[in-house]
Structure 1
Amino acid sequence: MPLHNLLTDLFGDIHKPEIVWQAGIIVVCVALGWLLERLLRVNGNGALRVGATNFRDVLTPALIAALIAISKLVAKAYLGNVNLLKVALPVFGSLALIRLAFYLLRGAVARRGTVGATLVTFEKIFSLLVWLGVALYLTGLWGDVFLFLDTTTLPLGKNHVALSTILQAAVSVVILLMLAMWAGALMEERLMGVAGLHSSLRVVIARMSRALLILVAVLVSLSLVGIDLTVLSVFGGALGVGLGLGMQKIASNYVSGFVILIERSLAIGDMITVDKYSGRVTQINTRYTILQGLDGVDTVLPNEMLISGPVQNQSLSNPNVQVATQLTVSYDNDLDAVIALLEAVPRNLPRVLADPGPGVALKKFGADGYELELGFWIADPQNGRGGVVSEVNKGIYALVRDGKIKLAYPSRDMRELDAQMLAVLTGMTRS
């Protein structure tokens, strides 16, 4: 026999005058909830904004549900039957629950303000399940459904577990994991805004905090379900064997990631060269590091490469980098005058540092002229070297075009062949 049916009671009271008062109370509660949300609004940079969502999306239906719950208690003393308020309360309460789940999920999963298609699909399924539960509650079928779940059991090993227990366990695990991931995302977002901490240290604290929160959530969830945590010792041993046999690389990369973050040998924004890859570090994760080349291509490097092999870090202790270009000038030039002209070329460029200033080195006396190297320093290697070298070469070309510098050209010696050898060659040709 179904439990009390709220919809049937509501239809029975549809012609009573109390229904008008209840409708007015609902309208007033909705208006007050909307106004209170505007008064308590959390702006886009507020403390409760995480990822791609804002807590104010939850605040309005939650305030309306709270006002309806208070009004129902007061109105029951004066009106008697408050069936319309009893129906409105779970409707707005479910809406607040759905918005709260969206807030937690998007804060924990969504990155850079974007929401993936998988997350949107999960949100639609979750909304459908919540509204289905509301419909069962309003029609009085919820008790029958729960009774069916409570009496139906599944054999799990030597024990028989009711479907209601499995459902409650799944819900508790999902809720606690969602809260842990949301709290981890909130902590990471706040840590990234702390200017007093090194960027690597901020990443380490954020990653370890999120992992610890998820571990605690899993353990608490298992305890709530009734699973003895001592059984995890067997699983831990199996996991250790698995790491030792088949997951050495993965474990090594994770450990290397934490070593990199803790010892601060690399930081986000550093210009590095690893093997044949060069670029700027854009992300340091626990398993891999993303290196963005000057051509815009991202390279995913396992963290083990950054620990076991040599790494050239152009920004570790000093961001200044020397850049050079070579040329060969004719011996007809005045060497001191050429050096003075070449050193003046990079000084007019905005990216070239004044201290240390440009310098010209005489590399060697070549077959065709003086072989010179013009060196200068820049402080932004992440912007590339090709552009500034090209500008310097254009300045050198202007000096050559104006005749202030003469470039060397390869010389060719024309020599006479020995007359006897020429005669021999001529005789061979005639024959």
Structure 2
Amino acid sequence: MEPNLDTIWNSFLIFFYQAKNYLTEPWAAYQLAIIGGCFAVAWLLSFKIEPIVESRARNIKGNPGLLRIVIAFMRRLEWVFFLILVYIAREIVLLNTWPSRTFVLTAALVLGSAWLALAVLTRIIQNRTIARVIAIGAFAYIALGVLDIRDPVAQALDDAAINLGDFKLSILFVLRIIFLTSLFLWLATLFGTFFDNRINAISDLSPSFKVLSGKIVKVGLIVIALVVALTAAGLDLTTLTIFSGAVGIGLGFGLQKVVSNFISGVIILVDKSIKPGDTIELGDTFGWIRELRARFVSVITRDGREYLIPNEDFITQQVVNWSFSNKLVRLDVEFGVSYDSDPHEVTRIAIEAAKDLPRVLNHKAPVCWMTAFGASSLDFKLRFWIGDPQQGLTNIRGQVLLALWDAFQENGIGIPYPHREVIFKTPLETKQGN
């Protein structure tokens, strides 16, 4: 460590005694009393008005971002009333004394306004961690400026440092990195989402190209944001070459799966093997693709479950895409009828029954073939085509089976159940009871 701790401590003591001397003066006590009274009145006003205003604000429809800001503003009505009352009190005091005797009121007004503005504006940031970092960092910067101690504190934090060769790692530098990185990453995410929505609104582009373009834009903006944040914090990017080897090895092992899934996602988008809206089957999962993300694919099944499947699985495992080249899917339904039925008539009835269902395609007509003389029945296989596999496969098979049942009942065709005949070569002796 290289900082001069005595200098830092002495600076802190000087500020402490100056603040103590000022706050013990009569005018400072008056201002603190005024601030306390303003806060009490503001709390009472907000307690009565806030529920009414908030209930009306919830009538805002179709704009959740605006609703979040309005609700955040309404839930801080006591601060609004407090700032209004402090401003009025400050103006009254200024009419009767010197401006220097309103320092506490001015500081409370500025800091309260800053905190209210930050609390409301950061509601548009969905990541709460980034929102807190930006709010706390901005408020601390403003507060130090109002108290006129920004430069001494910055110097003290900059002195608290360790030297890594020609590079000076200080507390001030770390705080700058955290604040600026959070700020620029949020801006990158905000602009990335905006451009992604604009790209998705272009109807002439394919779904895969939309997702790929959105990923490229977001990743590019994040990289630019990191570079700008590090540069703005005062970091010479050439110094990163010292750590590049170790960082590269660490990323290679620690982020192996993350990078693999990201690259797999890019490959999927480039070769267009799957796209949003496709009906796919991977292992025991059958459903339609809702969204392609950087790390995973969102698949929704017929029972409403949403599976987040890593992109790598779509590269390394066998995937059945029911709608890759087209959405036409052929399904088979097997059934059997009794031996006393006419197989030609059974074939005709089965085809007609399948044709009557709305999901069965007529331009690719159903066919029915007799496949075997079974142990208990004549076995048939009915084949038909559908054009909407995303609507489900089990349900259409069930509809076809019900249609066959109804048609066979109308035409007197029986569906046998397995049975066995037992023949005794030696008659059994039976006795009849009394």
* TM-score between both structures, scaled by the size of structure 2: 0.67
Which of 137, 161, 178 lines up with 1:154 in the alignment?
161
Structure 2 letter corresponding to 1:88: L
Question: What's the offset of the Cα at 1:267?
Answer: 1.0
Structure 2 letter corresponding to 1:198: S
Kindly provide the CA deviation profile for residues 86-137 of structure 1, in whole angstroms up to 9, marking residues without a partner as x: 6424322321123222323x1xx3xxxxxxxxx38x8678767777777777
Instruction: Name the structure 2 match of 1:290.
Output: 298
Instruction: Name the structure 1 match of 2:123.
Output: 102
Instruction: Name the structure 2 match of 1:366.
Output: 373
Instruction: Name the structure 2 match of 1:281.
Output: 289
Question: What's the offset of the Cα at 1:260?
Answer: 0.7
Instruction: Name the structure 2 match of 1:355.
Output: 362
Query: Distance in 2 between the 1:316 and 1:253 partners?
Result: 21
SS in 1 for 2:218: helix
Question: What's the offset of the Cα at 1:203?
Answer: 1.8
Kindly provide the CA deviation profile for residues 350-378 of structure 1, in whole angstroms up to 9, marking residues without a partner as x: 3x234335523223351565432222222
Residue 232 of structure 2 corresponds to residue 224 of structure 1: yes
Question: What's the offset of the Cα at 1:177?
Answer: 2.0
Query: Distance in 2 between the 1:246 and 1:59 partners?
Result: 42
Contact persistence 1:149–1:163 (CA under 8 A): no
1:245-324 to 2 correspondence within 5 Å?
A: 249-324=257-332
Instruction: Name the structure 1 match of 2:190.
Output: 182
Q: 1:410 to 1:245 in 2, by over 3 A?
A: closer
1:4-23 to 2 correspondence within 5 Å?
A: 12=27
Q: 1:191 to 1:59 in 2, by over 3 A?
A: farther
Question: What's the offset of the Cα at 1:236?
Answer: 4.1
Structure 2 letter corresponding to 1:157: L
1:24-39 to 2 correspondence within 5 Å?
A: none
Query: Distance in 1 between the 2:369 and 2:275 partners?
Result: 37
Instruction: Name the structure 2 match of 1:200.
Output: 208
Which of 202, 213, 219 lines up with 1:211 in the alignment?
219
Greater mean deviation of Cα atoms: 249-258 or 362-371: 362-371
Contact persistence 1:280–1:382 (CA under 8 A): yes
Contact persistence 1:253–1:304 (CA under 8 A): yes
Query: Distance in 2 between the 1:259 and 1:154 partners?
Result: 45
Q: 1:220 to 1:75 in 2, by over 3 A?
A: farther
Structure 1, gaps ≥5 residues long: 28-42, 110-118, 423-431
Instruction: Name the structure 1 match of 2:113.
Output: 92
Query: Distance in 2 between the 1:97 and 1:311 partners?
Result: 49
Kindly provide the CA deviation profile for residues 287-311 of structure 1, in whole angstroms up to 9, marking residues without a partner as x: 3323334344444433233234442
Question: What's the offset of the Cα at 1:349?
Answer: 2.9
Instruction: Name the structure 2 match of 1:396.
Output: 404
Identity among equivalent pairs (%): 23
Kindly provide the CA deviation profile for residues 242-273 of structure 1, in whole angstroms up to 9, marking residues without a partner as x: 56677655433321110111232211221112
Q: 1:234 to 1:319 in 2, by over 3 A?
A: farther
Structure 1 letter corresponding to 2:220: L
Q: 1:56 to 1:240 in 2, by over 3 A?
A: same
Q: 1:215 to 1:10 in 2, by over 3 A?
A: farther
Query: Distance in 1 between the 2:315 and 2:135 partners?
Result: 47
Query: Distance in 1 between the 2:73 and 2:413 partners?
Result: 74
Greater mean deviation of Cα atoms: 122-131 or 252-261: 122-131
Root mean square deviation of aligned Cα: 5.1
Structure 1 letter corresponding to 2:406: A
Structure 1 letter corresponding to 2:274: L
Contact persistence 1:364–1:371 (CA under 8 A): yes
Contact persistence 2:350–2:382 (CA under 8 A): yes
Greater mean deviation of Cα atoms: 292-301 or 393-402: 292-301
Structure 2, gaps ≥5 residues long: 1-13, 43-59, 427-434
Query: Distance in 1 between the 2:343 and 2:297 partners?
Result: 48
Structure 2 letter corresponding to 1:153: A
SS in 2 for 1:195: coil
Query: Distance in 2 between the 1:226 and 1:286 partners?
Result: 31
Query: Distance in 1 between the 2:189 and 2:245 partners?
Result: 26
Question: What's the offset of the Cα at 1:230?
Answer: 1.6
SS in 2 for 1:326: strand
Greater mean deviation of Cα atoms: 180-189 or 252-261: 180-189
Q: 1:367 to 1:208 in 2, by over 3 A?
A: closer
Structure 1 letter corresponding to 2:315: I
Contact persistence 2:372–2:380 (CA under 8 A): no
Query: Distance in 1 between the 2:131 and 2:424 partners?
Result: 91
Query: Distance in 1 between the 2:169 and 2:393 partners?
Result: 67
Structure 2 letter corresponding to 1:100: L
